[in-house]
Structure 1
Amino acid sequence: MRDFGAGLGYLFKGQRWVARHGRWWAFGMIPALITLVGYVAVMTALIVWSGDIADWATPFADGWGSPWQGLVRDAVSVAVVGSGGLLALVTFTAVTLLVGQPFYESLCEKVDESEGSAPAKPEVPLWRELLVSARDSLAVLLRVAAFGVVLFLCGFIPVVGQTVVPAIGICVSGYFLTVELSAVALQRRGFAQKERLRMLRRRLPLAVGFGAALVLLFLVPFLTVLAMPGAVAGATLLARDLAPVEEPGEEDGGTDEDDAPGTPDAPGTPDGQDTPDAFRKS
């Protein structure tokens, strides 16, 4: 339960971070705005052409009389628009992250720098980052679809299907949303998708606590645009907890003094002078 609360806390920390860095908040909204405009255009076209799609999909109803032909084709039109809206809702975050890869890479880097102990920038071409992100997003969407089918079937169970199943659905969606949002920060730390999934499964309440609240928030597309920069910032802060970056010298506790002249290999040092005892013994 404490991890669940900590995950929720990272959501608020991320929003506070972008509130303190207004320029980065505006910068981080650009990919979500681009994606939103694209989705609105597609949904508008789908609504306009839904009647023609229904006519094409139901040739068997051409000879039907009123009102049955109209009822069937209206139902198909509603199903087409509804399916398109559901697909847009499910894929919006993944597409936004793909479109915004360069933007969110810069945002993650800035969050890391502001908090200290930032990882080194990966030496990977942009085209390869986009390819890896697209592949990973597709893998996540397939997992979400598999869970969705199971939860859909469980939804027919009386009482449980109307109470427990929706709550589980939000938690599952929240977990995978955290996987998507933390991908940029964890990729910068050198973790492949399988390692990221394993890492987040070990801290499942933390991942669900962060993502489940965002799932509810992201049900409103406009709020998705406003909250996306803070969500990425919060996911970066969460990634710092999961995979902290050690400062140089932290691992062995050494300092630059360990490499100071005085060893036998140090140039300009007379043999046998200022040499540690470990080197004097044969």
Structure 2
Amino acid sequence: MKYDVGIIGSGPAGLSAAIYAKRANLSAVVIEKEYEGTGQIAESGQVDNYPGFPGISGYDLGENFREHAVKLGVSFMEQEVTEIKKEASSDFELVFADGSQVEAKTVIYAAGATPRRANIPGEQEYAGKGVSYCAICDGSFYRGKSVAVLGGGDTALDDAVYLADVAEKVYVIHRRKEFRGAAVTVAKLREKENVIFVLEHQVKEIIGEQKVTGVVLEDAAVIDVNGVFVAYGAVPQTDLLKKFAVLDDSGYVRAGETGETALEGLYVAGDAKTKKLRQVVTAVSDGANAATAVAEYLK
């Protein structure tokens, strides 16, 4: 069977795209690596910034998205796409790890981006229990508390600025003396009384009791914190698209509001797309825009 649109990824962007594609009477298939997956949102212990669902768990919100798509009759395939083929003026061939493939007139790429991990003891254990990768998502949970931000690039500095207006204390822990991020942001942080720089140090372990209680530095010093924000940036999952010359220098897919890329018939939605804010609400919007653009293109 040839589908009108093949949607790669079953996170909020992919599921939103599927819902809008189905409502436009398009034949759509969502291709997911994990069985009944809903993307990284499932790892969030609590989501408090998606309108209409304050305090809902990320797992439950993701399940709501998926259930909506299922009720509309969206098709799902549990497969890993290993290659995307497209010749000039032809349809797409999506090749799977087991050697099988499907054809689609268009593709919405919603494979997302993966946060860079610190890869230290306690990180995985306390993920969603004090360890976070998104200050804008989870910062409000630490109002009046102490947090640590790990990293020295723009992501870490921007997170620290945001958290300084929420938390009682913000420890910026960086392994070097100098920052890779913008000097103007560093200067802004130095003006804030509740920001404490811990430079030329690395966190060797995140400790806690059911939830995070502190971090241990390489010299065995312990800093008491309620939350740890791992802010090393993210890695867009876009290797499949490198041959199509649609990526920017950081590996994100270049596209505007509609998700249309430089390759005819290829659209992008969610965290793999070039944009300022990567949140559930923007991923859902991206999916809706991309599917609407696909419907117009196929007409």
TM > 0.5 fold call:
no
Structure with bigger strand share is 2
Please identify the structure whose Cα radius of gyration is greater.
Answer: 1
* Higher RCO (CA 8 Å, separation ≥ 6 residues): 1
Structure with bigger helix share is 1
Please, what TM-score do these two structures have when normalized by structure 2?
0.24
